[in-house]
A and B are shown apart, each in its own frame.
Chain A
């Protein structure tokens, strides 16, 4: 079983996001990037499948600030092969461009199964998974939270609202958009990541051209303008708690 996991880094939403001078993009200079959380689950699902059925996991990621650390951490978690796509990724590329750029690399790996996060929070032009699937001529199913693999086909658990699950049978090779791995992404000790830095190698693949056609143009980016906003309770924990008790009493809860 040859599994390819496509991951990317996205702005950490815990940090404050600001708009740059052009007014059409995020201020990228101070942006902290972290692995897209759904890609993290896709990686975990790939490693779980490898452990169950023997195989190889190759992780592919575009070159952005901090990607080496993420790739080495993937190796420490159990990934066998690391590929970094070199190109003009630093200023951010859209999903169409990333899907096109990774398609030929993924194709050469001849995967049985391609896993990637179902979405990323900044996918303004749709997610990478379904675009990649189409460029590769493979079927796609997303919102997956469980995968089993059999002979030339996979059974995947697709999530619907209200906790309903649809079991889908998908011909392989296929691309699956992972919502959640069957287990939470595993933790690896820093010492293991350091070890991986010494033993694992990151293969580099040059991407000559990034074609972002298929995405929308942005004429303005801005922070949401709330019509109504919460009444903020000022003060320390004691004062806030006292006010909340008051509100609970008004609601008749106490």
Chain B
């Protein structure tokens, strides 16, 4: 028996416990989350602007979506062009369940996640086998298929008009989502909790398995990792968080529109990730805020926001060549190194 094998035998006798350092990081993340929520929660009391609250709600929806996309793109190396399908699926499933059944919001929430999980498992099982650019194409194809189905089934989905008639909001555990401030707080809570959960995934051993797959999938297989299974698992998990983003959007607009499943949502997800940066956890969040501000500002000043948006994207793509947070992190690292050698 080798020394390593002998050690392995004794290992089962010790009880696995997170050591102090790991615990420390977890508490830090929770603390940051609580602080962020506190700041967000205070906004309605500091400002009477409905537009500001609306902006944050939209950031919550898109932020959840974009961060979930980064689980695939940044952490696993899976470039999906069709991730928006789960955003749309979440919005429509939630909207339809609320409109057609008498379900409570929590029940509809859980049911939507269940539906998304099933669809994502089927689609993922087909797609994750494929290499890179082909994975991207097939995910896009599935998204457009879902979009076409939504459009061509007006009796069920409202066709190109979308779900109309609003989404009923029965009160649950004292929360009344027809109240704007309560909807706002609910969205912020979902955002913070969703980000915390994704943070845990990314910093868990599974998260490092994903990084290994991203860096060198072939080698990962050669050290015993079941690559296909891991990819499918993260595909489904990312889909769930995208669906939550879709649900927030559905509540916000009180309906669901085919645009939520159109490929431009996937495209915006990718741009948000490139804008904010894929190597940091909060990069997508930064990108979300940037893109939404950009969209809102530009449309206010000019009809030709395509040109402005295009130029901004070129600045990041050809100029900075990396997302904002990536740029910041690299710049900070360079400064530290320069300072150290001075």
A complexed with B: no
